[in-house]
Amino acid sequence: MPDKKTPRPETEGIIGGATTSIALFQDRYVDMSVDLAGVILKNPVVVASGTFGFGREYGQFFDLSELGAVCCKGLTLYPREGNPAPRIAETPMGILNSVGLQNPGVDAFIEHELPFLRQYDVKIIANISGNTPEEYGIMCEKLSEAGVDMIEVNISCPNVKAGGLAYGTRPDLAAEVTREAKRHASVPVMVKLSPNVTDIAEIARAAADGGADALSLINTLRGMRIDVNTRRPILKMNTGGLSGPAVLPVAVRMVWEAATAVKLPILGMGGVSKGEDAAQLMLAGASAVAVGTALFNDPYAPLKVRDGLAQLAVRQGLGAVRDLTGGIRPW
């Protein structure tokens, strides 16, 4: 449980709205709740898979009930130790990572991590990666039964040599995995798309055809950084996935294209570090947004994004933050 003595920076002027869906700013109320494929989040701010573990660490800094949802570290059917270090390199306004899906496996998650998260009034999204469509199916069954609120199907992790990238870059495979996940899941299935494709709309449609209840995007963009003195890549895996503020414009464009292509609700992410970034993704078509890399700079980033969104909504005279979704006025 969070330490009550923990000093917590307050966003100026925001009152309430922390663990409820109503925020008050300059004497104006704003409804922060959003609907993501039938899952009601008390506010649109989610934490991105792989940047927040299973909530224990950042739960030392703030009450997890303040978030809309926690998206857990990517799970596989069996435990994985991941890639050799260095697994991170800093780049202009971003980072490259090559963690390689280190995780304790789906069973250990259900036994040891899920009960911890259940103590909080927050929606729990499990994120899964499989080597085969069957593995996705088995994990969906186990997780639905264990009572997670939603399953995010990662078809885009660029780090794992077996599978991973291929599903997310080929429409037929994306549809197949989605179908298999849907067949075994009794909670909403959200398919997480890879940005490493020429036409995101095509993959979005394939996931929709496979029966996806929602889409999330973007995962990391493949990148590389070289130390010019040693002439070696910083990452031991040579290449890795780019995230952080540098990718925000790519995320906004891809959310817009996906939202234009399909009718599904979207969890937008990629480079969000303040309320205005989140508002861009929502205007482009996202119903909710996830914050990842920004946490490494500031553990309170998700709460600042949430409060920034509330202020922006009030300033624009909106009664509900969900009114931003799809509100873009393209030329």
Ligand X SMILES: Cc1cc2nc3c(=O)[nH]c(=O)nc-3n(C[C@H](O)[C@H](O)[C@H](O)COP(=O)(O)O)c2cc1C
Q: Which partner from the list other proteins, ligand X, none does 82 bind, CB cut-off 5 to 8 Å by kind?
A: other proteins
CA 326, CA 50: separation in Å to the nearest integer?
27
CA 133, CA 185: separation in Å to the nearest integer?
13
Q: Is the CB of 64 or the CB of 208 nearer to other proteins?
A: 64
How distant is the alpha carbon of residue 71 from its chain centre? 6
CA 175, CA 167: separation in Å to the nearest integer?
9
CA 211, CA 209: separation in Å to the nearest integer?
5
Question: Taking CB under 8 A as the rule, does residue 223 contact other proteins?
Answer: no
* Helical (H) or strand (E) element with 217: strand 214-217
Of residues 242-261, those binding other proteins (CB under 8 A): 244-245
Question: Taking CB under 6 A as the rule, does residue 293 contact ligand X?
Answer: yes
Question: Taking CB under 8 A as the rule, does residue 295 contact other proteins?
Answer: yes
Compute the least distance from the CB of residue 75 to ligand X, in Å.
8
Q: Which residues contact 217 (CB under 8 A, 6 or more apart)?
A: 192, 193, 195, 200, 251, 254, 255, 258, 266, 267, 268, 269, 270
- Which listed range, 58-66, 197-205, 232-240, 287-295, lies at the site for ligand X (CB under 6 A)? 287-295
Question: Taking CB under 8 A as the rule, does residue 102 contact other proteins?
Answer: yes
Q: Is the CB of 30 or the CB of 282 nearer to ligand X?
A: 282
Q: Which of 208, 209, 213, 169 is nearest to 188 (CA)?
A: 213
Burial class (CB in 10 A: 0-12, 13-18, 19+), 27: exposed
Compute the least distance from the CB of residue 55 to other proteins, in Å.
8
Position among 36, 37, 99, 282 found at the interface with ligand X (CB under 6 A): 99
Is 157 one of the annotated active-site residues of the chain? Answer: yes
Of residues 124-163, those binding ligand X (CB under 6 A): 127, 154, 157
- Active site members: 157
| Residues at the site binding ligand X, with contacts judged by CB under 6 A | 48-51, 73-74, 97, 99, 101, 127, 154, 157, 192, 219-220, 243-244, 247, 269-272, 291-294
